[in-house]
C-alpha cells in the first residue's frame, strides 16, 4: 500500500512525480484555507510569511548537516543558479553532464563567455581537471533516473580547487542527501517534495556563499526587510540575501507538504520507492523489456513509446522521453499501481 493513504486519492495510477508531484490533502486544505481568508478580506497571502523560517529550516533538515542560515528561498532553479553563474570569471570552465536538464546548463551556456564542457555522466568525475572552475549536475538525472556519484565528485572537485553545484530537484524527498557533498545546492519543491511550482531552494555554506553576490536582489533580501522597505541599508548576512520575494500561497503549500515528508522520514520513503521500482523492473523483464538496472525511483523503459496509448487508456500517467517512457514511484504509490502499469504495458511488441 502507499505510505500515506489518507493524504492521496488520485483517480489515476499516477507514476509521474518526476514531472510534477501530487499534493497531499493537508497541503490542499492549508492553501484553500489561506485562499478563503484572502477572499474574505481577512488576510492577504503575506500574512503567512511566518511560515518561511519553518520552510527554510525544514529543507535544511533534508540536507544532512545544513542549517537554516545556509538556505535561501526562490521560485526557480535557474534563477537561483544565476549568482553562481555570474560569479565566474570570463572564460571559466564549467563541466556539465551530457543530457543534463536545461535549467542547470542554461545559466552557464547562455552567459556567453564561459567554456561549458559536456561529458557523459559516468565520466564526469574523471573529466575534472585543473582548469575546471565548476561542476554543475543533478543528483538524479531527470531524463532517465541515473544517480551521480556525489561523493566522488566532491572528492575530485576539492582536489582540483573547483566548486560543485548539485541540483536536488529529482532527489530531495526520497534520496538521503548530505550538505557537505556540494558547495551549492538548488532544488525545486514541486516534484518529490510534493510542494509548489513557485517555491525553490538555494543552499550554500558560508564560505562558498561569500564568493557570490545576489543578482537583482529585492526587498525581501534585506537584513531587516520590513524596516528597509523604503530606505535599503544592507543585504542579509545569511543565505537570506539570495531570497526572492516568495509566493506565499506556494509557501503555505510547500510547508504543509514538508511536514508529511518529515513525519514519514526520507529513509522510509527511499526504501518504499526503491521497492516499487525494483518490482516494476522485475515485471518489465518478464515482459521482455530491458530497463536500466539502477537503484533509482525513476525507471525508464527504452523503446516502449508505442505503449503510451495503452497506458493512457488504462489511466496510467507517465512521461514520454526519447522514444521511451519514464515511470516514477513515490510515497502515494503502491504495489497495485506497479501491477496496473505492467498490465497496461503488456507484452513487448
CA-to-CA distance for 241 and 225, rounded, in angstroms? Answer: 10
Give the model's pLDDT for residue 349: 40
Alpha-carbon separation of residue 275 from 175, 319, 340 (angstroms)? 13, 20, 16
Contact 287, 347 (CB under 8 A): yes
Right CATH number for 44-263 from 3.40.390.10, 3.40.50.2020, 3.40.50.11690, 3.40.640.10? 3.40.640.10
Q: Of the ranges 243-257, 264-278, 301-315, which one carries the lowest mean pLDDT score?
A: 301-315
CA-to-CA distance for 159 and 148, rounded, in angstroms? Answer: 18
Assign 48 a pLDDT band (cuts: 50, 70, 90).
very high
CA-to-CA distance for 47 and 71, rounded, in angstroms? Answer: 21
pTM for this entry: 0.96
How much is the average pLDDT of 333-343?
A: 97
With cell 497531499, the residue in question is 24
CA-to-CA distance for 169 and 157, rounded, in angstroms? Answer: 21
Assign 1 a pLDDT band (cuts: 50, 70, 90).
confident
Q: Where in the chain is the domain with CATH 3.90.1150.10?
A: 13-23+265-345
pLDDT per residue as tens digits for the range 286-314: 999 988 888 999 999 998 888 889 999 99
Q: Where in the chain is the domain with CATH 3.40.640.10?
A: 44-263
Alpha-carbon separation of residue 217 from 67, 80, 210 (angstroms)? 22, 11, 15
Alpha-carbon separation of residue 322 from 64, 154, 194, 285 (angstroms)? 34, 30, 25, 20
Helices (H), 63-178: 77-87, 102-109, 124-127, 150-160
May I ask the CATH class of domain 13-23+265-345? alpha beta
- Neighbouring residues of 93: CB distance < 8 A, sequence distance ≥ 6: 114, 115, 116, 117, 129, 131, 132, 133, 134
Give the model's pLDDT for residue 213: 96
Assign 251 a pLDDT band (cuts: 50, 70, 90).
very high
Contact 26, 256 (CB under 8 A): yes
Q: Kindly report the average pLDDT of the chain as a whole number.
A: 96
Give the model's pLDDT for residue 321: 83
Give the model's pLDDT for residue 304: 87
How much is the average pLDDT of 271-279?
A: 98
Assign 128 a pLDDT band (cuts: 50, 70, 90).
very high
Give the model's pLDDT for residue 256: 98
CA-to-CA distance for 72 and 186, rounded, in angstroms? Answer: 9
Amino acid at each position: 500500500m502507499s505510505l500515506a493513504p489518507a493524504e492521496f486519492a488520485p483517480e489515476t495510477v499516477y507514476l509521474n512525480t518526476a514531472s510534477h508531484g501530487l499534493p497531499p490533502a493537508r497541503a490542499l486544505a492549508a492553501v484553500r484555507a489561506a485562499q478563503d481568508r484572502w477572499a474574505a478580506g481577512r488576510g492577504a497571502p503575506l500574512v503567512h510569511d511566518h511560515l518561511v523560517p519553518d520552510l527554510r529550516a525544514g529543507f535544511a533538515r533534508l540536507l544532512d548537516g545544513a542549517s537554516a542560515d545556509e538556505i535561501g528561498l526562490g521560485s526557480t532553479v535557474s534563477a537561483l543558479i544565476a549568482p553562481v553563474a555570474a560569479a565566474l570569471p570570463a572564460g571559466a570552465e564549467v563541466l556539465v553532464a551530457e543530457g543534463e536538464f536545461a535549467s542547470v546548463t542554461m545559466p552557464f551556456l547562455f552567459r556567453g563567455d564561459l567554456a561549458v564542457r559536456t561529458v557523459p555522466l559516468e565520466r564526469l568525475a574523471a573529466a575534472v581537471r585543473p582548469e575546471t572552475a565548476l561542476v554543475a549536475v543533478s543528483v538524479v538525472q531527470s531524463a532517465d533516473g541515473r544517480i551521480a556519484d556525489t561523493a566522488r565528485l566532491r572528492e575530485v572537485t576539492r582536489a582540483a580547487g573547483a566548486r560543485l553545484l548539485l541540483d536536488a530537484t529529482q532527489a530531495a524527498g526520497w534520496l538521503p542527501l548530505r550538505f557537505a557533498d556540494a558547495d551549492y545546492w538548488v532544488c525545486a519543491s514541486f516534484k518529490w517534495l510534493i510542494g509548489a511550482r513557485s517555491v525553490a531552494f538555494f543552499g550554500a555554506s558560508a564560505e562558498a556563499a561569500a564568493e557570490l553576490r545576489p543578482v537583482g536582489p529585492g526587498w525581501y533580501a534585506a537584513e531587516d526587510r520590513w524596516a528597509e522597505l523604503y530606505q535599503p541599508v544592507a543585504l542579509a548576512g545569511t543565505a537570506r540575501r539570495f531570497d526572492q520575494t516568495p509566493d506565499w500561497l506556494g509557501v503555505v503549500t510547500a510547508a504543509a507538504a514538508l511536514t508529511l515528508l518529515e513525519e514519514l522520514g526520507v529513509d522510509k520513503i527511499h526504501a518504499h520507492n526503491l521497492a516499487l521500482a525494483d518490482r516494476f523492473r522485475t515485471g518489465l523483464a518478464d515482459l521482455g523489456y530491458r530497463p536500466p538496472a539502477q537503484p533509482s525511483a525513476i525507471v525508464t523503459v527504452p523503446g516502449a513509446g508505442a505503449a503510451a496509448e495503452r497506458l493512457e487508456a488504462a489511466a496510467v500517467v507517465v512521461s514520454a522521453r526519447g522514444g521511451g517512457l519514464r515511470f516514477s514511484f513515490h510515497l502515494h504509490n503502491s504495489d497495485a499501481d506497479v501491477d496496473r502499469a505492467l498490465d497496461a504495458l503488456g507484452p513487448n511488441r
